[in-house]
Structure 1
Amino acid sequence: MSDAFKDVSTVPTLTLEPFQAEEEKKPAVQPEEPKLDDTILTEEERRMVDAFAQQIDLTNSSMILQYGAGTQKKMADFSESALENVKSKDLGEVGTLLTNVVTELKSFDEEESKGFLGIFKKASNKVESMKAKYSKAEENVNQIVKALDNHQVQLLKDVAILDKMYDLNLTYFKELSMYILAGKKKLEEVRSTQFAELMSKAQVSGLPEDAQAAKDLDSMCNRFEKKLHDLELTRMISIQTAPQIRLVQNNDTQMVEKIQSTIVNTIPLWKSQMLLALGVEHSSQAAAAQRQVTDMTNELLKKNAETLKMSTIETAKESERGIADLETLKATNESLISTLDEVMNIQREGREKRREAEVELRNMENELKAKLLEIRG
């Protein structure tokens, strides 16, 4: 997973070079929206947008088709890699290992119904039995801890990778924003200058070729406007990806913390408790001292039980976090569906308006021809 992002630049780049894609996406119709805020850009990036806008040629059909496609492809590959990272992560195994630790410690405690010190009142061979059980439990726990250590190292690597993924997503977000800003600047400039000049020329000359030239430029502007809207949809995916990355990263971090707590707190406490129990057995205390030791051990057992309880509860809480993540994904999915519905409505309205415009253009052409015939007569 780390190799997928190791050599990827996090500096925004803009290009008008054709992008070789397996298949082309149909541009979506651009809805009426507030002007895109450029405050997310630095001064240098704003100057880059202004300079890039001057290079855009709306009369170049190939350029319009490829505009921003490189960043869209990088965003698609990035989303696939991010999804693969989530799919390959098995936090359930870590939860199982943590549960196994608790099971090992509880199973040892339950070997004697009267607790650790209750064994001291029986035959001396019970001490050897207790040591043997402790050694077996310790071996099992150590194996589990070794596996947890490996998971902890991997999770820490994943957290670092997710930071890189977040930075890359921010870069793609900026690139898309810069493409959109540059495109809108150029679109506004062309419509207010070239298109306006062609319309004025067509109205003055009355020639069909002049009217056609104005119509061609208007069509190119509309195509480019749809392309910009397509980029805005990709930009929205980038916006939604950022909190999703942080959610996955937060889950990894919390699991690392839980592993650390188990290794540095729970298990050492259990071992020290066992050493204390064995040490007390080897002493020759009077009955009063024996009761004090029993009270002390019982207190340790209670504290250890509370620690295990808290560990179990926290682990259960962490495992339930997946429900909240699913709700987030559900809300995101509903939002995307709503967006696509709106886009479809806008496309339908756009088609109706274009049909109306075509009818109007035919009427205008017929009127122009009739007027020309009158002049010739």
Structure 2
Amino acid sequence: MRTTVALLFGGRSGEHGISCVTAGGILSAIDRERFDVLAIGITRAGRWVQVSADPSDWTLVDGNAPEVHDTGVEVLLPAVRHRAGEPIVLRALDDGAVRDLAEVDVVWPLLHGAYGEDGTVQGQLEMLDIPYVGSGVMASAASMDKAATKTLLRTAGLECAPGIVVHEDHWAREEGRVLAHLQEHHPLPWFVKPARAGSSLGVSRVSRPEDLGAAMKTAFAEDPKVLIEQGIVGREVECGVLQGRDGGEPRTTIPGEVTVGDDLEFYDYESKYFGKGTVSIDVPASLPDAVLEEVREVASRAFTALGLEGLGRVDVFVTEDSRVVINEVNTMPGFTPYSMFPVLWKNMGLSYADLIADLVEQAAARRLGPR
């Protein structure tokens, strides 16, 4: 019997369009001989609707990302929690009447950013005992919050970029003191990041103290909690991680490297997804074997320290003296056929379709939270 997978994408965050593109990639490659697929879009207002499962509807067109529109029948989760041996039945609200829509085995939240990658949707699914792809509530929430991530990683003895956390109300009262502290303790450049956003949304590189105010305004537009980090001089390297089989150690890829040209200040949102500037992605990274192994070890330790499940991508800097400094951890990395995570696994001999199957099968076999 085939497994039925509900792909959940779109969502309320600023990464709505990228989530839709990710769904398009998976819809184009998932093995329809092994899996039935139900496509569920979440509008920017938070409404769940059944949408097209045609991958051509979820691609970039002239640089514009697709959008989940508020059309089609509304999708409802089960009224009661799933019990072993019983089907998981999603329902539809259609013309004011509730009816059964489909039986599913696994939900895959292909959601990036807030209200999807941060433990919120994972909590909904846990409440109903519905198996899903990816990390649980705590790991998702901790990994979404860059400040919390770094606290946990440092506790595990892993190195992260130095920096401070600033809340919007604190900045409004103490802007001068924050700036003075940074100038005293953290050399320029600074990277200003919304604490709970992904895909480099709202991130700015600050090379002059007088530019900090504008960078903070940009970051606060995404999140009232902001991380200001000291810039690290190093090569940007990324490592894919999959949960180990049968309780084994996490599986890691040979790392890849992102190199940005002189026409970019850093690897930002537009360069990641919309072709801005000169970017090259090299898999494997051109680093000594010992350094590549150290990156893999750090990625595995980070995955374990944060309690991740399913998958993750660990992004690091490798300094001139071969220190491995963690930049961030992604619990639901970009997943188009050309995204770094699938490319890294393809280099390991795991095709895009088989990577999708691996994750679905992991999810179907997992045990959720306490009963």
Using the size of structure 1 for normalisation, the TM-score is 0.20
Q: Which has the higher helix share?
A: 1
Using the size of structure 2 for normalisation, the TM-score is 0.20
Higher relative contact order (CA 8 A, sep 6+): 1
Q: Which has the higher strand share?
A: 2
